[in-house]
Structure 1
Amino acid sequence: MNLLFPKPRSFYKNRKSIVFISLIFIFLSLILWPVSQPFPVDYSTIVYDRNGEMLSVFLNKGEQWHFPPNDSLIVPEKLKKSVTQFEDRYFDYHPGVNLISLARATWQNISSGKVISGASTITMQVARLSNPKKRTIWSKILEMFYAVRLEVWYSKSEILNMYLNHAPYGGNTVGYRAASWRYFGKEPTALTWAESATLAVLPNAPGLISPQSNPQKLLTKRDRLLQNLEIEGIISEQDLQLARLEKIPAKVFDLPFEAPHFTTKINKTVKQGRVFFSSIDQKIQKRAEEIISNHAGYLQQQGISNAAAIVCNTQSGEITAYIGSHDFWDKENNGMVDGVLAPRSSGSILKPLLYALSMDDGLILPTTKMRDIPTFYGPFSPSNADEKFRGVVTAQTALTHSLNIPAVRLLNTFGYADFYEYLKLSGLNHLFRSADDYGLPLILGGAEVTLLEMAQMYCSLATPLINREQFTSEDVESTKKKNAINKNKIKENILDYTLLSETKSRFQSGRTQRAPRLNESQSIISKGAAYLTLQMLKEVNRPGAEYYWQQFQNQWPLAWKTGTSYGQRDAWAVGVNPQWTIAVWAGNFTGEGNPELAGSRSAGPILFDLFNMLPKDKSLHWFERPENELSDVKICKWSGNLDSEHCPDPVIADAPRLMKTMRLCPWHRSLFVDTKEKYEVCSLCWQEGAYHKVQKLILPADINQYLRQQGQIIEKVPMHNPACPGEHNEPVLEIIYPTENAHIWVPRDYDGLYQKVTIRAVHRQENIKVFWYLDDFYAGETSESHVKNLSLENGWHRLVLVDENGRKSERHFFSGKN
């Protein structure tokens, strides 16, 4: 059929046209097909401070120094001119391939019989760098094709940026910014003509010529390029002569590694290859490191090897300085351990939160009297650091002197389970046991906390008093600077970093199972309670020369608290004012205790050196009194509780406006006494017209005895008329230990013999005899100090104490022996 009916010649012409057009279409489609990201994302993480100063740079996954590209940065003109003059003089004019240069290079290579010129444009080099292959004619053709595609989809400026950001500069240095820092220790914008020319010629053969391996060849190439720049009229003769005088760098510079613990944490936290703008202030960071280092020398002489600190902006919660140890490179003392994040025993550092919460609960005010006497909760018996008892102290004295017994008794009243929940709410994330497992020792250091969490908690304590209108100016300007540095990556990078903000937010609006004390939008600590707590902490005595700080001019108040953990393993000091929150820890990362370690001696001096170093804003001298959040209440002058009808001298005191109802004074009573005020009388025993009413302070027997032991004159309270036919069982005589139905385990001494158990009692009257009976057997008598050491057998016991007036107290308890 084909022989009989051949196709017309026009058919074949049309088919050739179709094939030709199809090839052109395919070619154009490939050229115009969008180019994806030419380079894999594998960059160094860079951390800057709040002012845009570089803090640290970290190697990428390929162990290279390779700064992330930043499209908002303009390539310095000196570097741009040097690179285009050396690599591609017609860069701004060709479409990715310079056909004239290609033809000339081909002729040169054929004439010489070897490859002496590649005719690669900057765009072709970008193509090769993005997809490196063995150098063949076919790979060259692919480079040219890809270069044309790049020219279609990217501007000349973008292509030049790609080249400079991914060009090899010798060793493990990639990209012009990393090279500028490695070889010259500065940003590219500060490069001279000689330095720019050096960077321009380095990528040509970085393995053969470099400042270290072949500096003379590098110098020759640099000077030849400088000469060409002068010939082209880009630089003057004077510029050329001055540039030639500059030497090739003899060494590479170490990239910055400031705030090492902080930036290392950031490198582990954020996604690889990010640019991170932190709130660290490099100047304050360095000065803080110097202070820690200076104190470390003295501490190490005492066997205390480590110290850490964190400085935060109270207004915003941002971290300004972060010192994980006195020396990151001190291997002997585990300097790389981050002391800011290491969980340690809290000591007494949690007490202010308890006192603030208790004020809102109506349990105390600063002047409320609290018991400081031997206290027993089953086998747990807290003691003060000085092993002394004061009988009764105000809440302010108990807090400022960090007395343990009043704090434990307050926690017992407040509820350790509720306090545990508030601790978790305030950001303590290392409480890995239940509230019952911690129990009352929670307030004395039973909790595991970090220095960061302590800064969070104290910053949050001040949060209700922060005037947000004051805080906007500095921090808004700081944020604007950060945004300007990396405008196109605000959503990708963490530009407004603060470890405190999340916790502060939860602290302000969070809730526990306890009935809510404030409105949903308010802090869990009222402004009134926060202010009164900080006012108390402001009165804590300062260490050393700071003790007399109020006697000098231009001194700044600071609410601060110290803490020392059990076994003297951890020393804490935390301070806060409206502008700064500072937290300091000292101790040994090994957990070893030291008798010289104490919060006031070891951490306190560091705290005040840091505080005195920090810049001060006069408008943030101290917290503004929250007038609308404080109420005037009438309280008993002596007890500090609400004034009752029996209190003779009421006074006006500040109280949180939203405080729950406080109890009335429990210690003042109105009595009827005979005319001589020798005996209390009642309707069963008074004589008509021979009695009158008086107001008396009647202290419990346990307080009474310890006040007498301190030498205080206690007003005698008349006993009830012994001739009265009625019964009167006033708590005049009390057994302090053991408590009712207590279980006591009898200890052994070093020889394995069972020891005697100390039994304690108190009497309201002084110098009165008390007779002791154990299981109905007489066990002796005491006078004034009612303490006896008794031998106990296994089983239940009945202890009866009777004073010389016939008043008695009784206890039942169990003793066991192992």
Structure 2
Amino acid sequence: MAGSSIAILVAALFTLDALFPLKLPHHQANLFARVVTDSQGMPLRVFPDAQGVWRYPISLDRVSPLYVQALLSYEDRHFWIHPGVNPFSMLRAVGQALWHQKYVSGGSTITMQVARLLHPNTRSIRGKLYQMTRAFQLEWHFTKKEILQMYLDIAPFGGTIEGVQAASYAYLNKPAVELTHAEAALLAVLPQSPTRFRPDRNPQPAQIARNKVLQRMLTLGVWQQKEVRDAMQETVYANQLQAPNRAPLLARSLVKKYKNSALLHSTIDGDLQRSLEDYISRYRNLLPKHSTLALLVVDNKDVSVRAYVGTAEFGNQERFGYLDMVQAQRSPGSTLKPFLYAMGIEQGLIHSQSLLSDVPRAGLSYRPSNFSGGFNGPVSATEALRRSLNLPAVDLLEQLGPNYFAGRLQQGGLNLSIPGNGQAGLALILGGAGTSLQQLVEAYSALARKGQSAQLRFRQNDPLKPRYLLDPGSAWIVWKILRDTPRPDRLHTFQSMQSHPAIAWKTGTSYGFRDSWSIGVSQRYTVGVWVGRPDATPMPGHYGGETAAPLMFDVFEQLQPGSLMTAEEELPKPDSVSQAVICWPLGTEYKRADAPFCDEKHIAWILDQTIPRTVMQGQNPLTIRLDAHSEKRIAGGCSSAETKPMRVALWPAQLEPWLDYQQRRHYRIPALDPHCPQNDGLSLALPNITGVEDGSRRQVSFTRSSGKHQLMPAADLGVSGGAGEFNWYINGHYHYHSKANQTVRHPFKKSGRYEIVVVDEQGQTDRRSITIEERQR
């Protein structure tokens, strides 16, 4: 009979449990706020649940033992042994209520409090019985640790703050694992009256309640007298509740990408992020309206992102503050040039001191100009890269092949968005494609990572996936070239930069001043900066060296002490790299026997002992036949009693106007022997500009009309010599096309220095430099 009754009772309990299941926290959709933390676990940004409640996920082993001691000692000393309800506490609570004619203590256990949070009810006797029933149900289904974990997750701490981790961050700005005795006592008592004991609004009542807990801990002998005494000396203080909002655009991106993760541990250095955001809040005042910026700091060791700024001012509509410009596709300007030169070194096209030509491109439809205007004639590969000259880069890309270049970049993780039909062209190297700051920083980090790039790591558990981008030796040579790039004038006063010189850096500016870039690479960090307007409207006067580079160097200054490289901590040189003395114009290694052909000596970094010659058309040195008596040049078909050979090293013909007179062809190659006028095919009929004298100064008159200056005179420019038709460049920009014996008229619209260059169909050039001075009348 008794057995049947027990069986019926058990069956009834199972039935009731099935009919009235617990509303468990882990059954609630989006129980926790979605939290993105820095590398130390501090919240960067929190995305509350649909009701705006902040709950941070936390495990029991990540809570300070001091808090657990204070909570259980004050609220439920017998938590680990009672069945969900403590009968002695309940009897005491009933007796106190009868004696005082009101509730003095509830007698609720931790289990009962969890039951009330899951199933809210009145504080009547009926409500208390319902709460006790649900407490038994909890104990039936879960272990004590699981019940305690529920309390840690959902206990109320005032307003929209629930759970001990959220409370610890909100009120104390620290994780719950770091709570002191005083802080643990405060958070233990706070759920008893979350509104009355809120430390940010009612610090005095909160301190009284906290001290009551501390006294209980001393009375029970859980904490020592000194610990309690010191804790009572602490004044209760809490910051006003404010949701953390660091790296907001990165946090938004992470929660969107990892939709099923409530807690995302990023690689961000919280202190560095805070410092840079505070600095940018001042720096942005130097920028024009409707402009913004983006910034990345990456640790080269594991390509973890240490700081991420996607906008100058998050939320500001005038600065497009909701757009993440780290990810935006923009024109890279000249920032791809280091990879071109590195690949040119790998392919044996150049070394660091190869002789290149910064002159107009003859007979070609693509005629880029340099950013500064004008041409420089003979330049080394190092100078061309440091000065970011456009013409040598275009020539090098033409030799390497645009499709090969774009393919290598893609292989290394830098995917370019090429307009039109997607075919790479020569404009690619000057910014004629789209990429993002993130991809550029990934690629530049390869300079410090032995040529290996890798997808940036934003989370601590993201795997490291390296990709081959450059040969280790060519990566080092390019890093070395850029490391010695002179810094902008406004940076020369930074004395601290002199103590940390080992930063390779490159700037870039897209067409029309729409994008300003600066990227720096030290042994430890890669820092990338972009400045511009998201709507792609121009920012005249703002370019990489003026606007982006100062910010980039400021970021290096704010990195942790000791993280920057000193002069003795440069990147180690690979064994494949060595130095050699090479000669111009041939570009070959200096040997004593070749001394007559060595006009200039340069010390070059070379890869795998490869020393490519200067790119020229025809043989060099050139061997010609001279009449032994007249020492005039004769053709092979001429008969002469006696001839002798002559070898001469020639500079590329297109460089003639920029060479010293002794280096020019007219000086080095003798004229044809008049007794043997047969043409030997060696033309010295270089183009010669007429109409203006080199180095001349002209004073011109301006007339004033309607308050405007108008320049009256113009120059009639012609050319003698040369071959075919001609293209004219004024201050580096293409202006006119003319035929033989045809002049072009060029008006001078303002005073200043003018460089006039003409190019014939064979690429031969001539140049004049004149100065226009204004004379008022």
1:204 Cα deviation after fit: 3.4
TM-score by length of 1: 0.72
**1:715-737 deviations in Å (ceiling 9; x for gaps):** 3423444654755444545899x
Give CA-to-partner distance per residue, 1:652-710, whole Å, 9 cap, x none.
85432296976876542111122367532233215132x22122133454332454799
Listed one character per residue, the Cα deviations across residues 425-471 of structure 1 (whole Å, up to 9, x for unaligned) are 33334515367555211111212222222211111233226899xxx
Instruction: Measure the CA separation in 2 of the matches of 1:398 and 1:283.
Output: 39
Work out whether residues 58 and 165 of structure 2, in 8 Å CA contact, stay in contact via their aligned partners in 1.
no
Moved more, 630-639 or 590-599: 630-639
Within a 5 Å distance, the mapping from 1:699-718 to structure 2 comes to 699-707=651-659, 715-718=667-670
8 Å contact 2:199–2:206 — kept in the other structure?
Answer: yes
Query: For the structure 1 residues 358 and 131, does the alpha-carbon distance in structure 2 shift closer, same or farther, using more than 3 Å as the test?
Result: farther
Query: Is 1:781 equivalent to 2:746 in the alignment?
Result: no
What residue is the counterpart of 1:204 in the other structure?
Answer: 192
Counterparts in 2 of 1:420 and 1:366: CA distance versus 1, 3 Å: same
Provide the aligned length of Structure 1 versus Structure 2: 699
Distance across 1 between alignment mates of 2:421 and 2:596: 42
Q: Does 568-577 or 124-133 show the bigger shift?
A: 124-133
Deviating more after overlay: 389-398 vs 206-215: 206-215
Is residue 621 from structure 1 mapped to residue 564 from structure 2 by the alignment?
A: no
Indicate conservation of the 8 Å contact 2:587/2:614, yes or no: no
| 1:383 Cα deviation after fit | 0.7
Asked if 1 retains the 8 angstrom alpha-carbon contact of 2:505 and 2:519, the reply is: yes
1:598 correspondence with 2:563:
no
Amino acid at match of 2:160: N
The residue that corresponds to 2:698 in the other structure is none
How far 1:400 sits from its partner (Å)?
A: 1.2
CA distance, structure 2, for counterparts of residue 326 and residue 809 of structure 1: 50
Deviation of 1:358 (Å): 1.3
Contact 1:648 1:695 in 2 (8 A): no
1:798 aligned residue: none
Q: Work out the CA distance in 2 between the residues paired with 1:38 and 1:109.
A: 36
Which residue of 604, 607, 610 corresponds with 2:552?
A: 607
Question: For 1:572, what is the secondary structure of its paired residue?
Answer: strand
Look up the match of 2:332. 346
One-letter code of the match for 2:253?
A: K
Residue 562 of structure 1 aligns with which residue? 507
Deviation readout 1:535-584 (Å, 9 max, x if unpaired): 22123211126559999974422221111111112221112122221222
Query: In 1, are the aligned partners of 2:39 and 2:460 still within 8 Å (CA)?
Result: no
Change (3 A) 1:50 1:213: closer
CA displacement 1:747-799 (0-9 Å, x = unmatched): xxxxxxxxx999989749xxxxxxxxxxxxx97738xxxx7469xxxxxxxxx
| 1:116-145 CA-partner distances (Å, limit 9, x unpaired) | 876432113223434557789888667556
Q: Check the 8 A contact 1:368/1:641 in 2, yes or no.
A: no
* 1:656 maps onto 2:607 in alignment: yes
Normalising by structure 2, we get a TM-score of: 0.75
Q: Deviations over 1:79-135 (max 9, x none)?
A: 334433443232232022224445666788899999887643211322343455778
Query: Which 10-residue stretch deviates more, 704-713 or 664-673?
Result: 704-713
Report how far residue 318 of structure 1 moved.
1.9
Query: Residues 680 and 289 of structure 1: is their aligned pair in 2 closer, same or farther, counting only changes over 3 Å?
Result: farther
Which whole-Å CA distance do the structure 1 matches of 2:321 and 2:62 have between them? 37
Three-state SS of the structure 2 residue aligned to 1:464 is: coil
Residue type of the alignment partner of 2:570: W
Q: In the alignment, is the contact (CA less than 8 A) between 1:311 and 1:582 conserved in 2?
A: yes
AA matched with 2:503? L
Amino acid corresponding to residue 608 of structure 1 in structure 2 = F
Distance apart, 1:255 and its partner CA: 4.4
1:726-741 alignment, distance < 5 Å: 728-730=680-682, 732=684
Map 1:287-436 → 2, pairs under 5 A: 287-297=275-285, 299-300=286-287, 305-328=291-314, 330-375=316-361, 378-429=364-415, 431=417, 433=419
8 Å Cα contact 2:624-2:633 kept in structure 1: yes
Partner residue of 1:529? 474
Rounded to whole Å, the distance in 2 between the matches of 1:153 and 1:495 is 35
- Tell me the alpha carbon deviations over residues 17-48 of structure 1, each in whole angstroms, 9 at most, x when there is no partner: 45644654785899999998755352233334
Pick from 65, 84, 88 the counterpart of residue 96 of structure 1: 84
Give the whole-Å Cα distance in 2 for the aligned partners of 1:377 and 1:144: 93
Q: Tell me which residue corresponds to 2:57.
A: 68
Identity rate, percent: 30
Whole-angstrom distance in 1 between the partners of 2:180 and 2:228: 11
Q: Extract unaligned runs of 5+ from structure 1.
A: 1-12, 469-478, 480-492, 509-523, 737-755, 765-777, 791-806, 812-818
The counterpart of 2:626, out of the listed 673, 685, 693, is 673
Structure 1 pair 194/367, CA: closer, same or farther in 2 (3 Å)?
closer
Contact kept in structure 2, 1:568 and 1:598, CA below 8 Å: yes
Deviation at 1:150, TM superposition (A): 4.4
1:279 to 267, 277, 281: 267
Residues 757 and 556 of structure 1: CA distance in aligned 2, closer, same or farther (over 3 Å): same
Structure 1 residues 210 and 324: alpha-carbon distance in aligned structure 2, compared to 1, 3 A threshold:
same
Unaligned runs of 5+ in 2: 689-714, 724-737, 747-759, 765-777
- Name the aligned partner's letter for residue 607 of structure 2: P
For 2:311 and 2:615, locate their aligned partners in 1 and report how far apart those are by CA, in whole Å. Answer: 50
Picking from 518, 521, 532, the partner of 1:573 is: 518
Q: 1:649 to 1:144 in 2, by over 3 A?
A: farther
Residue 183 of structure 2 is aligned to residue 159 of structure 1: no
- Evaluate the alpha carbon distance shift between residue 734 and residue 317 of structure 1 in structure 2; reply closer, same or farther with a 3 A threshold: farther
* Cα offsets for 1:36-68 (capped at 9, x unmatched): 875535223333433455444442344221111
Q: Which amino acid aligns with 2:622?
A: R
CA contact (8 A) 2:294 2:326 kept: yes
**Alignment check: 8 A CA contact 1:42 1:273 kept:** no
Per-residue CA distance 1:456-503 (angstroms, 9 max, x = gap): 1111233226899xxxxxxxxxx9xxxxxxxxxxxxx942458xx54x
Structure 1 segment 171-320 matched on structure 2, within 5 A: 171-188=159-176, 191=179, 195-206=183-194, 210=198, 228-229=216-217, 232-233=220-221, 252-271=240-259, 274-297=262-285, 299-300=286-287, 305-320=291-306
What is the SS of the residue equivalent to 2:646?
A: strand
Paired residue type of 2:577 = L
Counterparts of 1:721 and 1:234 in 2: how far apart (Å)? 113
In the aligned structure 2, how far is the partner of 1:673 from the partner of 1:334?
73
Distance 1:192 1:625 in 2: 50
1:129 aligns with 2:82: no
Amino acid aligned to 2:638 = C
How many angstroms does 1:647 deviate by? 8.7
* In 2: Cα distance, 1:258 partner to 1:552 partner: 28
State the 1:285 CA deviation: 3.1
Amino acid at match of 1:129: L
One-letter code of the match for 1:573?
A: S
- How do residues 635-650 of structure 1 correspond to structure 2 at under 5 angstroms? 636-640=583-587, 648-649=596-597
Contact 2:406/2:416, CA 8 A, preserved across alignment: no
Compared CA separation, residues 720 and 635, structure 1 to 2 (3 A): farther
Distance 1:408 1:385 in 2: 14
8 Å CA contact 1:586–1:602 kept in 2: the answer is yes
Q: 1:407, CA displacement in angstroms?
A: 0.9
Contact 2:42 2:174 in 1 (8 A): no
Q: CA deviation at 1:243?
A: 6.8
Decide whether aligned partners of structure 1 residues 716 and 52 sit closer, same or farther in structure 2, where only a CA change above 3 A counts: same
Give deviations 1:165-219, integer Å, cap 9, x for gaps. Answer: 2111221100112122323444445556665444334333546765578878767
Structure 2: distance between partners of 1:694 and 1:550? 55
Residues 295 and 309, structure 2, Cα contact 8 Å, conserved in 1:
yes
Residue by residue, what CA displacement relative to the aligned partner does 1:215-270 show, whole Å, maximum 9, x if unpaired?
A: 78767755665565555455688887887777665763324433444334334333
Amino acid at match of 1:170: G
